Structure 1
Amino acid sequence: MPEYLAPGVYVEETSFRAKSIEGVATSTAGFVGQARFGPTAGLPTLVTGFEEFQRHFGDGNDLLLGGVPTTNQLAHAVRLFFENGGKRVYVSRIFVPTGGGSVEASRSSSSAISVLGTDRFLRARFPGRAGNVVVKVAANRGGNLLTGTAGSRRVMGLRLGDVVEAGALKESTVTAAGPNAVTGANIYSVSFDAAGNPLLTNAGGTLDLNGAALAAVQKITLDISVGPNLDGSTGSRSEQIQRLSPHPDSDQFVGRVLRHEDPDAGIEPPADRSQRIYFDAMVDLPSVAAQRTTFARDLLTGLVAASPITLSGGSDGVSPDAAAFTGGGSGHDATGLAALAEIEDIAIVAAPGSAALASPIDQAVRDALVSHCENLRYRFAILAGPQDADQATIRQVRGQHDSKYAAMYYPWLVASTPGSARETVLYSPEGAMAGVYARSDIERGVHKAPANETVRGVLRFSRNVNKGEQDVLNPEGINCLRFFEGRGYRVWGARTISSDPEWTYINVRRLFIYLEHSIDRSTQWAVFEPNNEELWLKIRLTIEGFLYDVWRTGALLGAKPEDAYFVRCDRTTMSQSDLDNGRLVCLIGVAPTKPAEFVIFRIGQWTADASIV
């Protein structure tokens, strides 16, 4: 309680309303799969558009896994996710090195380029053939910074760690040889004295700005161009990093801007993790000022002489096993589904293309997805069968699993190959379906079954499922994708793969996930509060207010709120033993709306004098 020790007027704030519950997002997806580039460990990357995915994980060209061209299912799943209405997806890339080697060995690297005496100076940031690029380094001189008259000359516009060339005025482009080449003895680095005046120093000492032979002082910066890919990938881009400094004291030091992420050594990732290369120039930096100037000079001249630099040897690895999808570790070591577990906002999980793996790997990956969602409780998995599955095969695949946290879709999708309208490729349906889930959630709400929705971005389905076939598949929880003349390509099923009739429908399961997660997240304030009638009342009012808003959206049955839900938190829900052990028990009941899966109109003849019973 507040203390009142001196006479006076005390104005205090208090609240007379129940705390509110904010509904959690249900449309955020998490995908795990193989890509042409990008991080292979650590927190998943949030992607809000397909162009952003390409910047982080490469284009949608085929992967070369163990020498076999393989469709890049993850990339196209992300593309279809956004085409079908998705907004946010976290991507966790998995990578299995060739021959059981290391991830490091699968990164592209430069051949011997004689920069600071090492051939490991320049590498691709991540493994993958998309790292096989050409790197061009250009050094440019700025204008003459020397001003003033004899005896009072000075230089302007310099910062700590800048590198300048003093002497005769030269052209802007620095060449490896000839009159515009850098003269090593004329390279100086910039520091400042106690009064804030710039000092230009090198191994020979401090430059005299009033020297008779000094005509110009020109700042030198590095511009680096990365790309295009050596294999001519359609989605490759030319990355430009400009106005870098070769000196370690500069904020724009090339080794700092293009540093290599190494959490174990305390080196943080660069500001832009989509950068495709890194300079290993943070290692063994000289500590003496004169040596750092020599280091900057050698780095500058070495890069200019070596340009263009070809990075090669990158590999896409081999086809993954179930363990790669499951992943493990935590923090910056997390991989696969274990990495997705680090993100609380994910509500939809899929492993696009995993169904194309050989049996029993595909079954093990589906099991891993189901276990992931069941263990974390607030997620729902989207599954698919093999791409060439017929009715008997998909029924067999469905029979291998039973869970209220997953749904299975059949068949696969046929879409155009990017860049070629005449060629078509089979894509697994998980990405498109995750987009349909997100679109339905955003437009209608999580209580609306994600069915009778159009599938965008496809030419057709790999198999034409008719009504007779769906009569067999639908009762077993296999959601069919069907074409209807005049209505297009639609999702025609909304069932989970659970044998429990209470959890037959996807929207019922996901509505309960939404309710449970929202209440869980927004009632954490109640922990360690005094467990008495006042707290019980606050809990009831808080949850009833939330459920009332949910009922108004049409998510719950009942013409009146009391028909749609109830909340009990009092002596009837808690025993004295519960109170003694610090347990607050709240009983909540809701009546969810279920989809009108079978719309039946009964029509019969009647006469004018007949009565309707």
Structure 2
Amino acid sequence: MPSYLSPGVYPRETDFSFYVKQISTSSAAMVGVAEKGPINKPTLVTSWEQFLKTFGGYINEGYLAYAARAFFDNGGSVLYVCRVAHYADPTDRNTLSGQKAAAKLVSQMDMYLLNGDPDPLPPQEVYDVFAINEGIWANRLEVQIENVGLSGGTFLLSVIYKGETVERFTDVSSDENATDFVELRVNGVSDYITIHDIWEPVGDTGMGTPRGGTYALSGGENGVVDMADSDYIGDPSQHTGLFAFDEVDALNLLMVPGVTTVPVINAGIGYAESRKDLLFIADAPPMLEPLDVVNFRKGQGTYTHAAFNSSYAALYYPWLEISDPVTAQKKNIPPSGAVAGCCARSDQKTHVWWAPAGIDRGRIFNALTVAYKTSRGERDVLYPEGINTIAVFPDTGINIWGQKTLQSQPSAVDRVNVRRLMMYIEEAISESSRFVVFEPNNPQTWRALGRLINPFLQDIKEKGGLYDYAFQCDEETNTPVVIDRNEMMARVFVKPTKTAEFIELNFILSGTGAVFSELIP
């Protein structure tokens, strides 16, 4: 309490206006191989056009671009992408097999020996130019040097990609002390190259100025020839693969499109379980029939792995058939990107606790059909095993027709909508409750926490996400023993709203003289 030394009015302010802030529910993340782009650096793209600019187009070595396109086509708008490549040693970033294309620029002036030899020395290298990132894409890059000034060491540098000039840097200087020094003008600005001065000046500034002409970059390698599961999984100490997303908090959906090996799926499940704030969307292997998919999910038949079992993952089958934008031929692609897009669209139209399935929120766009058309009988086999089918109906097109997680034990979180609801509630309350950390562990703080949480849960209830809820933080949860450990315990009870998945219609025939009001209770 403050000390009052003279009569007067001393206003004090108490803030009871804390509230649970809204969090993102449809931010997606993908791991895969790409034509270009930063390797093992999670990069945000918010449109297909931005993906093309950053990571390039479709390639034969993977499905990342196809999945990203399906994500945006089906309603997604926030996508973090991690491009991966092969490492000889996954724990050492220096063993990356991908290479950046490069070129060396030579001096505009010839150098001669002082012994009177009339022939000049071989051209002197003055700059190294590297592609901005690894890949064969950059073997189509060229750097053009023009307007070389003899005295000031200035020149025009143009970047040419696929025969078209994509960038121009005018009046750049070879003088490292100048404000227009070429490294300062180009590096960090160009979307295509970096340039590095390797000339050791011995006199005239012009000696370090590159000779006019066109220099082709070469030697770029994608680094995907020997791709292994470990390259997708990554290493936590190096923040590669899945673990590249450790530094991104706002994630809700995770995919490794088209990579259906057991180690990668188990790693994706494990990563989602460790974070507890995202759902791993797994693709079933391509070209499987329904019973084979059941065996794959349960680790039986020709499969020997342990059954997939987690509420933080969901499995979708079959693959989608599209018209390949590259060849115009039919091509099968994994469904995970489209599923994630439907989740995002569902969240935008309704709320996170609505199931991303059915003829509206689960409708998939920009696909021709599916790789395997399941019958109702086959879906009756698949769904009890936690396999979400993508079905084709004559009047509604291609629809996600299931929303189970891979949890084997029946419970509320064996459904995708409930799992995503609980992730939303847990993350939102956890982030917003930090204000009570280091506060006195007493009834006043307990009530303050209740004032934060109860309105948040009431809002979800009124919007249809919960049947009911209760919050408890009192002497019963915070016993003297708990308080002496410097802990504060609270309980949040929720009854999540369930979806209507099995609709039974009973048709009752009555006599002509029947009164319906007497038949209906």
- Alignment TM-score > 0.5, same fold: yes
Which residues in structure 2 correspond to 1:349-428 (within 5 Å)? 349-355=254-260, 362-399=261-298, 400-420=307-327, 422-428=328-334
1:538 is matched with 448
Structure 1 unmatched ranges of 5 or more: 63-69, 141-173, 175-181, 190-219, 230-236, 260-269, 356-361, 558-563
- Contact 2:85 2:97 (C-alpha < 8 Å) held by counterparts: no
2:139 is matched with 132
| Alignment partners' CA distance in 1, 2:180 and 2:368 | 49
2:113 is matched with none
- Contact 1:113 1:119 (C-alpha < 8 Å) held by counterparts: yes
- Contact 2:466 2:497 (C-alpha < 8 Å) held by counterparts: yes
CA RMSD of aligned residues (A): 2.6
Deviation at 1:390, TM superposition (A): 1.1
- The DSSP-based 3-state class of the residue aligned with 1:541 is helix
Amino acid in the other structure paired with 2:270: S
**Pair 1:114–1:366, CA change in 2 (3 A):** farther
| Alignment partners' CA distance in 1, 2:3 and 2:234 | 55
Deviation at 1:228, TM superposition (A): 1.2
1:107 is matched with 100
- Contact 1:135 1:227 (C-alpha < 8 Å) held by counterparts: yes
Identity of aligned residues (%): 30
- The DSSP-based 3-state class of the residue aligned with 2:250 is coil
The counterpart of 1:254, out of the listed 179, 182, 193, is 182
Compare CA radii of gyration and give the structure with the larger one: 1
Amino acid in the other structure paired with 2:421: L
1:38 is matched with 37
**Pair 1:13–1:108, CA change in 2 (3 A):** same
Amino acid in the other structure paired with 1:33: G
Residues 502-554 of structure 1: CA deviation (Å, up to 9, x unaligned): 12210011100000000001101110100001000011111001101111211
Pair 1:228 & 2:156 matched:
no
- The DSSP-based 3-state class of the residue aligned with 1:311 is coil
Deviation at 1:118, TM superposition (A): 3.9
Deviation at 1:257, TM superposition (A): 3.9
Amino acid in the other structure paired with 1:349: L
Amino acid in the other structure paired with 2:167: Q
Residues 482-511 of structure 1: CA deviation (Å, up to 9, x unaligned): 110111111111111111211221001110
Pair 1:439 & 2:345 matched:
yes
The counterpart of 2:479, out of the listed 535, 557, 575, is 575
Which residues in structure 2 correspond to 1:51-130 (within 5 Å)? 51-62=49-60, 70=61, 72-96=62-86, 102-103=95-96, 106-110=99-103, 117-118=124-125, 121-130=128-137
| Alignment partners' CA distance in 2, 1:577 and 1:87 | 48
| Alignment partners' CA distance in 1, 2:482 and 2:178 | 63
TM-score with structure 2 length normalisation? 0.87
Residues 392-442 of structure 1: CA deviation (Å, up to 9, x unaligned): 22111111311110000000011111154x412111111111111111111
Amino acid in the other structure paired with 1:489: I
Deviation at 1:320, TM superposition (A): 2.1
| Alignment partners' CA distance in 1, 2:350 and 2:98 | 49
Residues 244-279 of structure 1: CA deviation (Å, up to 9, x unaligned): 3333234443223443xxxxxxxxxx256xx22211
**Pair 1:250–1:438, CA change in 2 (3 A):** farther
Residues 106-152 of structure 1: CA deviation (Å, up to 9, x unaligned): 22122685688449812222211112123132434xxxxxxxxxxxx
Residues 18-77 of structure 1: CA deviation (Å, up to 9, x unaligned): 4100131110001111111111134x0011111111221111133xxxxxxx3x300111
| Alignment partners' CA distance in 2, 1:113 and 1:314 | 24
1:507 is matched with 417
1:196 is matched with none
| Alignment partners' CA distance in 2, 1:549 and 1:396 | 42
2:192 is matched with 276
Amino acid in the other structure paired with 1:280: H
Pair 1:486 & 2:395 matched:
yes
- Aligned residue pairs total 487
Which residues in structure 2 correspond to 1:247-326 (within 5 Å)? 247-259=175-187, 270=188, 275-281=191-197, 294=205, 297-302=206-211, 304-305=212-213, 307-326=214-233
Pair 1:20 & 2:10 matched:
no
Residues 284-315 of structure 1: CA deviation (Å, up to 9, x unaligned): 876xxx95x61xx334333x24x232333433
Residues 201-227 of structure 1: CA deviation (Å, up to 9, x unaligned): xxxxxxxxxxxxxxxxxxx44232231
2:430 is matched with 520
| Alignment partners' CA distance in 2, 1:123 and 1:228 | 16
| Alignment partners' CA distance in 2, 1:389 and 1:494 | 20
Deviation at 1:342, TM superposition (A): 1.5
- The DSSP-based 3-state class of the residue aligned with 1:46 is strand
The counterpart of 1:552, out of the listed 457, 462, 466, is 462
- Contact 2:98 2:224 (C-alpha < 8 Å) held by counterparts: no
User: Greater relative contact order (Cα 8 A, min sep 6): structure 1 or 2?
Assistant: 1
| Alignment partners' CA distance in 2, 1:367 and 1:122 | 41
**Pair 1:299–1:484, CA change in 2 (3 A):** farther
Residues 453-509 of structure 1: CA deviation (Å, up to 9, x unaligned): 210111111111111110100110100001101111111111111112112210011
- Contact 1:123 1:311 (C-alpha < 8 Å) held by counterparts: no
Deviation at 1:598, TM superposition (A): 0.5
| Alignment partners' CA distance in 1, 2:88 and 2:494 | 52
| Alignment partners' CA distance in 2, 1:118 and 1:397 | 57
- Contact 1:97 1:318 (C-alpha < 8 Å) held by counterparts: no
- The DSSP-based 3-state class of the residue aligned with 2:169 is strand
The counterpart of 2:242, out of the listed 337, 340, 345, is 337
Deviation at 1:345, TM superposition (A): 0.3
1:594 is matched with 498
**Pair 1:596–1:388, CA change in 2 (3 A):** same
- The DSSP-based 3-state class of the residue aligned with 1:239 is strand
1:239 is matched with 166
- Contact 1:106 1:317 (C-alpha < 8 Å) held by counterparts: no
Amino acid in the other structure paired with 1:351: V
- Contact 2:145 2:210 (C-alpha < 8 Å) held by counterparts: no
Residues 294-351 of structure 1: CA deviation (Å, up to 9, x unaligned): 1xx334333x24x232333433432422211121255xx5211111122110110000
**Pair 1:533–1:312, CA change in 2 (3 A):** same
Amino acid in the other structure paired with 1:123: F
